[in-house]
Every structure is written in structure tokens, then in C-alpha cells.
Amino acid sequence: MNGNRIVARIGVVAAGAAAALVIWALALIGGGIQVALGRGEPADMPWWQVLAASAVAGLAGWALLAVLEARLGARARRIWTVIAVVVAVLSLAGPFGTPGIETGDRFWLAAVHLALAGAYIPLMASTAARAASLRDA
């Protein structure tokens, strides 16, 4: 992988994390996002959890794209995009399927998931190797 693509993908991970943190910050206006993990009382979701989860999601997407590029070449971008969209849709099971989360908090959690998907999917796909660059490698 060339240096320009690495820098671009670092930027994508940063942009996705920033998008998630913007939604989290907007949620603060209404009192923040509260989640109940396990059987505990609902607690505020701190910024660092949003940042960490966003970074993990971005790095996992990057890793998958790199593996697909190495194995599938020019088809990697299309296959990665389909997988990423499916994962994004399935990730909404968290906000909507977890018991003990209030409706407003479900909205904000879903908004964070959608902000990540909206940033990561098109931006990461745009960094995928083109067929011509794969032939030259």
C-alpha cells in the first residue's frame, strides 16, 4: 500500500471519529446519551467511548479493505462497500435492540452509527485501489 493511501485512510478514520463526536456533542444539549449496560442503571456515555468505538470500527473497515484488495484486486472496493453497508445496517440492532435504553437515547445512538457509516463508507471506498494501480503494483 502506498503512503498516500495510508495517509488518506488515517484521515478517514479521523473523519469518522470526528463525525461521531459531533453527534455525541449535539446530544449533550439534551442531556447526553445514556445507556444501561448489563443490569446496571443507565449511565452517560463518555466521549472517549464514542472515540474508541469509532476508531475500532474505522480500523476494522480499513483492515478488511486491505485484505480484500490483496486477495480480490479491482473487485475489492465493490465487495467491501456491500459488506460495510450490511454491517452498518446490522449495527443499528445495538441502539434499537438493547433493552433499557430510552427513546431519545436510541435516536442519538442510531445517529452516531449513521454518522460513522456516512463518513466511513464513501470515504474509505474512495481510497480503494483502482484496477490500473493494482496492475502497476
Give 3's pLDDT tier (boundaries 50, 70, 90): confident
Q: Please report the pLDDT score of residue 110 as a whole number.
A: 96
Give the model confidence (pLDDT) of 21-43 as tens digits. 999 999 999 888 988 766 677 78
Average per-residue pLDDT for the chain: 89
Q: Please report the pLDDT score of residue 136 as a whole number.
A: 43
Q: Please report the pLDDT score of residue 36 as a whole number.
A: 75
Q: Please report the pLDDT score of residue 38 as a whole number.
A: 67
Mean pLDDT, residues 101-130 taken together: 93
C-alpha cell of residue 44: 452517560
Give the model confidence (pLDDT) of 47-92 as tens digits. 999 999 999 999 999 999 999 999 998 899 999 999 999 999 999 9
Q: Please report the pLDDT score of residue 98 as a whole number.
A: 83
Q: CA 40 to CA 87: how far, in whole Å? A: 27
Is the pLDDT at 7 greater than 80, yes or no?
yes
Q: Please report the pLDDT score of residue 99 as a whole number.
A: 82
Contacts of range 59-66, beta carbons closer than 8 Å, 24 or more positions apart: 59/13, 61/120, 61/124, 62/9, 62/12, 62/13, 62/124, 65/124, 65/127, 65/128, 66/1
